[in-house]
């Protein structure tokens, strides 16, 4: 018999999980306070709609907005005495504290959080590939049985995610840094656009769209996320406020400004590598691309024929020298070999980003 999973909340994350688990061979049952969401998700292939009376899940995943997660976890702990319970909420310690109050015996609850989503909500925006190659954080407590933790870790791996285990409080600090404050930076940029006259908005290119994508997210959901992680978010925001004040002062000091911009570039490069992969495991090989017809296609053919898998790449252009630079991210131990192979093909290449 396939392992059966009950998903409470068939929105973006719940329906995506339903699609991915169904594909992985799980028997998925869906329930949502908005019955149309469960119906739509089921119609997309994310599982079947729960009729409540016959539910007997091995695992329950609570995928609702954070404010209602504790009460639902407490309810299913009582209702399904043999099931392992998890949730996908974007904060972990406040949820755990609330569950502690509502259901003091909660050994079968193992918190978790997939670091994958989008600015959209609801089942129609779900994707069965949402969790592929993304990090899924599991936040076990000492009282959890190791076999229950293993059930949730396996579920995350079965949908293609890479599991990272850490205590709930450390998780909340980390997501303030890599998710919650970046979200607010996007909101700041986007809300500032209200001051921009409409004719000027017509000049908007890709840059502003890249920076503001996540500002389109549901304000009610993010209000819940941010208020429950307010201390950690405030701490990071105060540091950003100091940086902003410093930046304003440096605008007439070109050298200091360039150093500051370099710090931003270094920060962005610290994220290289696939989602969930340690950036230290990746290295860039940069290749100069002459301004010749089909040069780039020829380079990719050479790389492919040499048997290398390109994990990620970035193309930059030097308008003065009229050459391009292709920076290829590969696993650290492959980098030297790739560089040698590329150079054997007559290309100029070096380790690291652009000269
Ligand atoms: N959106 C993201 O990028 C993202 C990523 C990772 C984790 N999360 C977390 O996942 C959870 C769900 O977020 P989402 O983006 O899928 O939101 P969503 O709005 O798309 O889905 C939430 C679903 O929960 C349902 N719901 C609300 N109250 C309910 C209740 N009491 N009982 C049953 N169903 C109820 C809603 O009807 C909706 O279908 C949140 O806790 C969020 O913090 C979100
Ligand atoms: O990619 C996005 O749209 C997201 O914002 C997803 C994102 C993130 O910050 O990475 C947002 C909140 C979740 O808790 C987890 C993932």
Return the pLDDT at 95: 98
Q: What is the pLDDT of residues 309-329, one digit of tens each?
A: 776 788 888 877 888 899 888
Is 60 a residue whose pLDDT tops 60? yes
Q: Check if the beta carbon of residue 211 is closer than 8 Å to that of residue 186.
A: yes
Q: What is the mean pLDDT of residues 231-242?
A: 98
pLDDT exceeds 60 at position 63: yes
Q: Is the pLDDT of residue 272 over 90?
A: no
51 CA → ligand 1 middle, Å: 20
Residue 121 contacts residue 11 (beta carbons within 8 Å): yes
Report how far apart, in Å, the C-alpha atoms of 99 and of each of 1, 76, 160, 241, 267 are: 31, 11, 28, 34, 36
Structural domains of the chain ordered from first start: 4-166 (3.40.50.720), 172-269 (1.10.3660.10), 279-351 (3.30.70.260)
Beta partners for residue 7, in sequence order: 30, 61
Q: pTM of the entire structure?
A: 0.84
With DSSP H G I counted as helix, E B as strand and the rest as coil, what are the percentages for the chain, rounded to 5? 50, 15, 30
- Please tell me the residue having the least CA distance from ligand 2 atom 15: 115
What does the pLDDT look like over 140-159, one tens digit per residue? 999 999 999 999 999 999 99
Q: Per residue in 8-32, pLDDT tens? A: 999 999 999 999 999 999 999 999 9
What is the residue with the minimal CA distance to atom 25 of ligand 1?
Answer: 9
Checking if the pLDDT of 306 tops 90, the result is: no
178 CA closest ligand 2 atom index: 9
Q: What pLDDT sits at residue 355?
A: 46
Taking the C-alpha atoms of residue 107 and residue 143, their distance in angstroms, rounded to an integer, is 6
Tell how far the Cα of 145 is from the centroid of ligand 2, in angstroms.
29
Q: What is the mean pLDDT of residues 37-61?
A: 97
Q: Is the pLDDT of residue 245 over 90?
A: yes
Cα-to-chain-centroid distance, residue 188: 20
- Within 6 A (CB) of ligand 2 lie 90, 115-119, 179, 214
pLDDT at 353: 64
DSSP category for residue 271: T
CA of 292 relative to ligand 2 center, distance in Å? 40
- Percent of the chain past pLDDT 70, that is, above it, reads 95
pLDDT at 354: 56
Which ligand 2 atom sits nearest the alpha carbon of residue 214? 3
Q: Give percent of the chain above pLDDT 90.
A: 79
Can you give the pLDDT at residue 348?
92
CB of 65 within 6 A of ligand 1: the answer is yes
ipTM of model over 0.95: yes
Model pLDDT for residues 93-115, shown as the tens digit of each residue: 999 999 999 999 999 999 999 99
CA 315 – CA 205 distance, rounded (Å): 18
Measured in degrees and rounded to the nearest 5, phi and psi for residue 331 equal -65, 140
Mean pLDDT of the chain: 93
* Average confidence (pLDDT) over 213-218: 98
């Amino acid at each position: 018999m396939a392992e059966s999973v009950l998903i409470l909340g068939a929105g973006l994350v719940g329906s995506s999980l339903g699609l991915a688990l169904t594909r992985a061979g799980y028997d998925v049952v869906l329930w949502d306070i908005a019955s149309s969401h469960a119906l739509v998700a089921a119609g997309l292939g994310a599982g079947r709609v729960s009729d409540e009376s016959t539910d007997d899940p091995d695992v329950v995943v609570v995928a609702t907005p954070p404010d209602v997660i504790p009460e639902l976890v407490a309810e299913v702990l009582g209702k399904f005495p043999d099931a392992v319970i998890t949730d996908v909420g974007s904060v972990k310690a406040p949820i755990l504290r609330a569950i502690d109050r509502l259901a003091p015996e909660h050994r079968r609850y193992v918190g978790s959080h997939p670091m994958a989503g989008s600015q959209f909500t609801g089942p129609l925006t779900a994707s069965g590939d949402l969790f592929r190659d993304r990090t899924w954080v599991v936040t076990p407590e000492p009282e959890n049985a190791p076999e229950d933790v293993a059930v949730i870790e396996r579920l995350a791996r079965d949908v293609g995610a890479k599991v990272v285990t850490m205590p709930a409080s450390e998780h909340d600090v980390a997501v303030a840094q890599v998710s919650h404050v970046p979200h607010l930076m996007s909101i700041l940029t986007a809300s500032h656009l209200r001051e921009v006259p409409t004719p000027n908005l017509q000049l908007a290119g890709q840059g502003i769209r890249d920076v503001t994508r996540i500002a389109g997210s549901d304000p009610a959901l993010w209000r819940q996320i941010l208020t429950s992680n307010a201390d950690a978010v405030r701490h990071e925001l105060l540091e950003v406020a100091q940086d902003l004040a410093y930046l304003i002062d440096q605008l007439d000091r070109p050298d200091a400004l360039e150093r500051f911009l370099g710090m931003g570039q270094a920060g962005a490069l610290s994220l290289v590598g696939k989602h969930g992969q340690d950036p230290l495991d990746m290295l860039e090989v940069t290749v100069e691309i002459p301004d010749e017809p089909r040069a780039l296609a020829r380079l990719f053919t050479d790389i492919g024929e040499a048997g290398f898998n390109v994990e990620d790449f970035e193309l930059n252009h030097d308008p003065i020298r009229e050459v391009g630079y292709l920076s290829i991210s590969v696993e650290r131990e492959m980098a030297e070999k790739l560089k040698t192979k590329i150079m054997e093909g007559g290309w100029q290449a070096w380790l690291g980003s652009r000269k």
